[in-house]
Chains A and B, each alone.
Chain A
Amino acid sequence: MYERGDVARGFTEAYVVLEENYRTECEIHTPMEPHGCVAKWDGDRLTIWESTQGVYRIQQNVANVLNLPLSKVRVIGHYMGGGFGSKLQAGKYTIIAALLAKITGRPVKMILSREETYLTVGNRPPSNMTLKAGVKKDGTLTALDFTCTGTGGAYPAGGTSLVDWEVRDLYKCPNVRTACADVYINAGPARPFRAPGHPEGSWALEQMLDALAEAIDMDPVDLRLKNISLVSQARDGQPPYTSSGFKDCLAEGARAFGWKQARQQIAAAGKQGIIRRGVGMAGGHWIAGGGRPPSTIILKLFADGSVNLNMGASDIGTGTKTVMSLVVAEELGVKPETIQIEHADTGSTQYATPSGGSKTVPTESPAVRAAAISLKQQLLEIAAQDLKVDPSTLYFSAGSIVSRNDPSKKINFTDLSGLKKRGVVVGIGYGGPNPANRVTNPFAAQFCEVEVNTATGEVRVIRFLGAHDSGRVMSRLTYDNQVFGGITMGIGLATTEARILDKNHTGKMVNRNWHDYKLPTALDVPEDIVSLPIEPDDTEANTTGAKGLGEPVTIPTAAAVANAVYHATGVRITQTPIHPVRLCRLLAERRKEG
């Protein structure tokens, strides 16, 4: 239960008040690589190779359950084929494999079958939502009243986690009330799933904003621009954001997409013919994405000038290793290809929190920079001795150290006597505290165009644009990949994916395979997806200016598709997924109503 202001009074101040029920279906994470591990004992020491988002979390889980010292449990992650939040903890299979390996004295491998992963290792829970909203004639939001029922299956947590956050925090509104209730059902557990709660809440809020905009005859982008907040309203003390590119996401995104022209063209074409086009958009932000301590990074410079970066965090396929190499390369002035990364191994890399919450880059990259700076300071000391000058007069230049006063006094890293003698210079970096009384969140606006066959209910997503403020772009290639992947996943929520339980007989999941549980295919995703980075200069958030990206990219997608389908057909689809099973019936009902 959350409340601020006076919701009842807010509704009396409104020019239009609308209320609608919304539902999002349960989604299964479905990473390409199923959950599993190998466990092996050497005497009293246990080694586990696990497909995980965080090796130290697994180490902690296993040590707790088996009552072992942390030092006796080594967990190795290395490569993994996706997790999306479902691999943040050890599984029962991890413990079972460890026990079986102990009993048999042999390594034991346990990989869940696809069917097993569909039942036991988490989901994005279904959400039944109601949203009532009031708006003034000029577009000012006056009140939001939101309720949600969800379920973490037969388990006590996560059924409605963060589903109300977008309603509470995204748009400026003085009077807000939300109430969420978890109910128990005989089904598998909830687990965090790429931006937990956010795409669900966005499905309700962003469709409601679309409806309000229409009711007051205002452009949907303009309505959102009218209600931007520069403080986090739902947090105590309403702290300001370290940066907010939300306004630019909306305005620049609309411009790059050709929003106004597209709406004009579609209006000019009129509602004729069986195939109709529509455009839709939605905004969003992500509750986390600012990073936080702890993080410890060790950077080693070897005698030949090559660099080893030692980081406990997992690269879950998002390009973490690429980004960290670029930070080292930028700070040390070395080529990225000279950097080798050791990561995700509790036996040989440093403590890190699991890669989740879109916090890995903002958490680890400042510690990486700090480690590089620590390394540089030591190199300066060594160089000052070798060159017999004061260290404060030296600066770095492409793999060498030069005197500001006398450019002839110059030494390459590889010639430093201290480095040659010791074989290695080690820099250590720690993640610093976050700025006080500030919030660091990423922002997003997405735009899309769809084509609907009004006779059959078939929807084709023609093009998408994602305008994202995730702070500084650390690597354009991996950045764009996150945008494309997030939009793809959001299209899945919008148009194809749903867990189906046999509700009248057994409660079993009937579609627990890749044919019946319909992930979007390459043909369901448009070829034309534009990634438009919005890069506000965020010097407060951390020393790299990066904010999280992996989750905000999937938050507004489904709502944007629903809004586009409404624009094309005049049918408001409040329940996912939008495919012919649902849309064809709604279109037929609408024709009947005339």
Chain B
Amino acid sequence: MVPSFSYIQARSLDEAIRYLALDGARAHAGGTDLLGCLRDRVFDVATVVSIAGLKELRGIGATPAGGLRIGSLTTIAEVARNPVIRSKYGALSMAASEVASPQLRHQGTIGGNLCQKPRCWYYRGEFHCLRKGGDQCYAVDGENPYHCIFGGDNCFIVHPSDTAPALVALQASVTIAGPNGRRTVAVENFHIPPSEDYTSETVLEPAEIVTEIVLPPPAEGLRSSYRKVRARRAWDFALAGVALAIVFTGDQATDCRVVLSGAAPVPWRSAEAEKVIKGSRLDRDRAAKAAEAAVKNAEPMEQNEYKIPLFRGLIEQQLMAIA
């Protein structure tokens, strides 16, 4: 049962921020995650503030610097089919296409996709787990096939977003508006690992809203991709996913980012894999070495050890495909 709450349709960003400062207020954009959280009683809510009517948060356009600005209310489907994103920022287009199902992609927003709550079944279920204010992570010695192999610390969720790893790989940033004005944060620093704070997923302060995502102009020779492996072929989160953004000069990989989904509580940059790739000619041997390096420091639990060969196979395949 969804709890009862008051519902406010904000007419401006300032008004939205003002209402979101109320105790127990939550923002409603596409609502695909919010409704599930309310139904599962993941958190209490007194006021739902709809930002869906704020036109200035919609749409995709060029930035003066030659990059791209994506309003946070732009739907995942719009991101997936946008021709500029498809040609210049392939990883983001591919990641958006892999999100959930067509219905959810048409309703869900890119901002919401970055801000979504974890899908851990203990967190979503009737378990008073650490992240919900309890005293233990049930996944540690529980049913953990879908949990993390990196960065677990005290809470072993994986971050559910597909677009976030792609945006980290593409060096995007988010603009945040709040009671104290605006600020810009790199997507890479937007999500909080449980070692820092196991009760929040993002750096958003109360009453703050993501207003836009900004992509820098693509570097000369940039190639990017995203691929996701899941337990069924649609409407499913990543068992393992990898976003690649590699700058090639001739056949040399001069710069690169390797960001994993389904691996850690935050989009997981593999510095180990990047080190192997950077400055190299990306041949089969190098791809295998990079894939090996990516999983070297993994710390699997009882049921998710399969993720090590899975990531190894996936990363190697994707590196060969991009090279």
A-side residues, CB < 8 A to B, are 274, 453-458, 460, 495-496, 500-506, 508, 510-513, 515-516, 518, 520-524, 577, 579-582, 584-585, 587-588
Contact = CB atoms under 8 A, between A and B. Distances in A.
Interface of B: 101, 119, 121-122, 124-127, 138, 141-143, 145, 229-237, 239-240, 303, 305-306, 308-310, 313-314, 316-317
B134 to A, nearest CB: 12
A451 to B, nearest CB: 12
A585 B305 contact: yes
A496 B233 CA distance: 10
Given A457-B306, A502-B127, A581-B303, 13 more contacts: A455-B313, A456-B313, A458-B229, A496-B231, A502-B122, A513-B124, A520-B232, A521-B233, A580-B306, A584-B306, A585-B306, A588-B306, A588-B309
Given A274-B317, A508-B125, A580-B231, A585 B143 contact: no
A581 B145 CA distance: 7
A510 B303 CA distance: 15
A455 B316 contact: yes
B309 A518 contact: no
B231 A515 contact: no
Contacts of A458: 229
Contacts of B317: 274, 455-456
Contacts of B234: 521-524
B304 to A, nearest CB: 8
A504 B313 CA distance: 31
Among all A-B residue pairs, the 3 with the closest Cβ atoms: A455-B313, A588-B309, A523-B233
A302 B145 CA distance: 64
Given A456-B229, A496-B232, A581 B143 contact: no
B121 A524 contact: no
Given A515-B119, A523-B234, A580-B231, A505 B142 contact: yes
Nearest to B310: A584
Nearest to A509: B125
A465 B286 CA distance: 43
Contact of B143 (A500, A521, A577): A500
A468 B308 CA distance: 42
A518 B236 contact: yes
A522 B102 CA distance: 12
A112 to B, nearest CB: 13
14 contacts: A455-B317, A456-B310, A457-B229, A500-B121, A501-B143, A502-B127, A508-B126, A510-B125, A515-B236, A580-B306, A581-B145, A581-B231, A581-B303, A588-B308
Residue among B101, B124, B234, B309 with max Cβ neighbours from chain A (10 Å): B309
B299 to A, nearest CB: 17
A505 B232 contact: no
A458 B228 CA distance: 11
B138 A518 contact: no
A428 B204 CA distance: 73
A512 B125 CA distance: 9
Contacts of B303: 581
A15 to B, nearest CB: 37
